[in-house]
Chains A and B, each alone.
Chain A
Amino acid sequence: MSRGKVLVAMSGGVDSSVATALLVEEGFEVIGATMKLFCYGDTVADRPCCSLDSINDAKAVAERLGVPHYLLDFEDRFRQFVIEDFVSEYAAGRTPIPCVRCNTFTKFRDLLAHADALGCDHIATGHYTIVRDGAMYRGRDRLKDQTYFMWGIDPGVVQRMLTPVGELTKEETRAMARQLGLVTAEKPESVEICFVPDGDYAAVLEQHLPPDAPALSPGPIRTTAGEVIGEHRGFARYTIGQRRGLPGGFPHPMYVVGIEPEERAVVVGTADELFGHRVELEELNWLAEPLQAGDTCEVQVRYRAGPVAARVIEGAGERLALDLAEPVRAITPGQSGALYDGERLLGGGVIN
């Protein structure tokens, strides 16, 4: 007896391979799909993610598990919703997270549309998150937890999501893949932004922006006191908290603490000046009851940062302002503020 029909997104990595195997084992009627999001063309030989090899790996796993597999071409939409936004955000002096944009606007939404067309009850992915009764919780393997990237997903999508590896540790996932003899068992992690070869995001910007774009043109490096201490090669090459590429000769290490696109300025300061205790979020999305002024929660401002206790000081409508219980390093416009109640992801927004 089938537990329902599910469209599973198979990236060709080990996590979604095992997710697929678990769904088959649990008695779902499974259809596999690999979303083609972008194409390096001839510029990069092979990547751990999204390359033709990955598509072939996904096909091989599907074949092995007796699951039909298809390719979904999301290239146009990925370009429109993710890459173009990535470029314009950097051009505006912010540091975007394309994975959040992708999850919010492309991956899950489009996958669900395809699932509907195929009469599927659910969609599934290999994400390390736990979905229970329409609510999303951190994955059991805290090092792999991916809820930080998920705050923007439509709650209607979460209702129909399955994330079977969320209850596993990465090691357990690999062990299961080995046990099942899946070709993806030993595949390395994909840690970079999938469409940015070798982590060189500036090269992507150079490709998409005109050569004289302000974001890539020289401008002043200033201290927080207003003293100009040098010139940079374009503020888009900098992000809050960065040390690399700054002039030396100061008694303390200096960090980028701000970017002022109107003046093309990169503002530097000491480590102390990097800390803030207030976070403002925009483009809010809620996977739970929206928080109101006076409510408390935890907020996480970077993928690898820990959550910090916070109190909502302004919570009406489009914006949310939070007062942090302890100062947090490098609160960066364009990054995400994901809001939690313990393990549960409540929603989030883009840091202003």
Chain B
Amino acid sequence: MNPTRDSSQRVYLDHAATTPVRPEVRAAMEPFLSDETFGNPSSAHWAGRPARAALAEARERIASAVAAEPHQIVFTSGGTEADNLAVLGGALAARSAGRPFRVAVSAIEHKAVLDAARVVERLGGEMILLPVSTTGRVDPGAVDAALEQGVALLSVMWVNNEMGAVQDVAALAELAAAANIPFHTDAVQALGKIPCTMADAPITLLTLSGHKIGAPKGIGALVVRDKQALEPLLHGGGQQEGVRPGTENVAGAVGLGVAVELASAERAETERHTRELRDDLERRIIESVPDAHVNGVEGERAPHVSSVAIPGTDSNALLMQLDLAGIACSAGSACATGTTAPSHVLTAMGLSDALASASVRFSFAHRSTARDVDRVLEVLPDAVQQVRTLVASLGDET
């Protein structure tokens, strides 16, 4: 039987891509997906009241988990929208206020930040791309230079989604605050994995996503310390103080609230558990494929992501081998057409195109098990062998 269809053979190590909805989350959402509590939270009548209360409770849960105020939680359709609102909305607000129409973003940001910054360029503004070290840490000198030049916004992600690099967010936020410049951080991969709150640093804007932590796809939030720092990208009925209008996704918000609360409460345990599994995986991969290299291993990394470069291979061919054996993981990045450009993250860290295109990402969650790791090790060494033979045979004629 094909292992991709045999669930007992399946291994899911792609939690940085998405996670299943947690039962607690689903249970909390269910009343809002039935005729029990269906009201519009903006309605003044009996049907609206429980919906409004549920939204408020969700805001409180999230605010308490990330040490923010409930009114600072702006629900969005997900991390991408939150990033766009922060970067583009932040830049547009600056332009309107006569401040520099220029954003500074790290070279390893998620595309949601990078492409929003490119829109700023297209609209006549500027984008400063901040280089990173070989461990994925943003270069403080470049940050200083950018702040000195004057920017609308500094955006640096807390934890990189492709290889797990952790930034010194507190220091970056302090630098920005000292220059009186809003600081945005995409914390999609940080929440629930490392300590991650607005308490310890003057963070202006913080992006959260639901589906990376057991809430459904289609819900996220931007934590907004200062609404003046943003120009809305959507316009409509004035919900959420007009920062992000549109009737709120009540069920999603409720789910996000529960998921954020759980992720924060379980953070220490998740951190320990995923780090143990990940370290075991990395150690055993290097044992069986001695020239494999863990990208960014010398730096500070989040516990749940592992990006492994395996020289002489090709990520896509490896992923096919692993998938056919029932193992779900991913490459750096793939565009919608499937053309696999080498990961912008790994190349920004100084990896060659060849090595960046020969990297595979495994990502863990609280639900991952030692058996998952065992299964990878049962399959990977042979898959590497096959793919190396393939790559060598294709390379021979070129």
Q: Is A245's beta carbon under 8 Å from chain B?
A: no
- List the A residue with the shortest CB-CB distance to B5: A66
Chain B contact residues, CB within 8 Å of chain A: 2, 4-5, 316-317, 320-321, 323-324, 336-340, 386-387, 389-390, 393-394, 397-398
Contact with B along A110-131 (1 / 0, CB 8 A): 1001101111000000000000
Q: Are the CB atoms of A73 and B323 closer together than 8 Å?
A: no
Q: Is A82's beta carbon under 8 Å from chain B?
A: no
Complex CA distance for A119 and B379, rounded to whole angstroms: 14
Q: Are the CB atoms of B386 and A117 closer together than 8 Å?
A: yes
- In the assembled complex, 19 residue pairs joining A and B whose CB atoms fall closer than 8 Å, in A order, are A34-B338, A39-B337, A39-B339, A55-B337, A68-B4, A70-B316, A70-B323, A72-B316, A73-B338, A77-B398, A80-B398, A114-B317, A114-B390, A116-B386, A117-B317, A117-B321, A117-B386, A117-B387, A117-B390
Q: Are the CB atoms of B390 and A116 closer together than 8 Å?
A: yes
Question: Within 8 Å CB of A180, what residues of B?
Answer: none
CB < 8 Å A-B pair total: 53
- List the B residue with the shortest CB-CB distance to A80: B398
Complex CA distance for A70 and B397, rounded to whole angstroms: 23
Question: Within 8 Å CB of B321, what residues of A?
Answer: 117-118
The smallest beta-carbon distance between B346 and chain A, in angstroms, is 17
Q: Is A75's beta carbon under 8 Å from chain B?
A: yes
Question: Within 8 Å CB of B323, what residues of A?
Answer: 68, 70
Q: Are the CB atoms of B339 and A75 closer together than 8 Å?
A: yes
Question: Within 8 Å CB of A72, what residues of B?
Answer: 316
Question: Within 8 Å CB of B340, what residues of A?
Answer: 73
Complex CA distance for A72 and B390, rounded to whole angstroms: 13
Complex CA distance for A346 and B2, rounded to whole angstroms: 38
- What count of chain A residues pass the 8 Å CB interface test? 24
Known: A31-B324, A70-B320, A71-B316. Contact between A52 and B5, CB under 8 A?
A: no
Chain A contact residues, CB within 8 Å of chain B: 29, 31, 34, 36, 39, 52, 55, 66, 68, 70-73, 75, 77, 80, 105, 110, 113-114, 116-119
Complex CA distance for A117 and B384, rounded to whole angstroms: 10
Question: Within 8 Å CB of A39, what residues of B?
Answer: 337, 339
Q: Are the CB atoms of A77 and B338 closer together than 8 Å?
A: no
Complex CA distance for A75 and B338, rounded to whole angstroms: 11
Question: Within 8 Å CB of B397, what residues of A?
Answer: 105
Question: Within 8 Å CB of A119, what residues of B?
Answer: 386
The 8 Å CB contact of A36, one of B324, B338, B398, is B338
The smallest beta-carbon distance between A349 and chain B, in angstroms, is 20
Question: Within 8 Å CB of A117, what residues of B?
Answer: 317, 321, 386-387, 389-390
Q: Are the CB atoms of A73 and B339 closer together than 8 Å?
A: yes
The smallest beta-carbon distance between B389 and chain A, in angstroms, is 7
Question: Within 8 Å CB of A105, what residues of B?
Answer: 397
The smallest beta-carbon distance between B80 and chain A, in angstroms, is 20
Q: Are the CB atoms of A118 and B320 closer together than 8 Å?
A: yes
Complex CA distance for A75 and B386, rounded to whole angstroms: 21
The smallest beta-carbon distance between A46 and chain B, in angstroms, is 13
Question: Within 8 Å CB of B339, what residues of A?
Answer: 36, 39, 73, 75
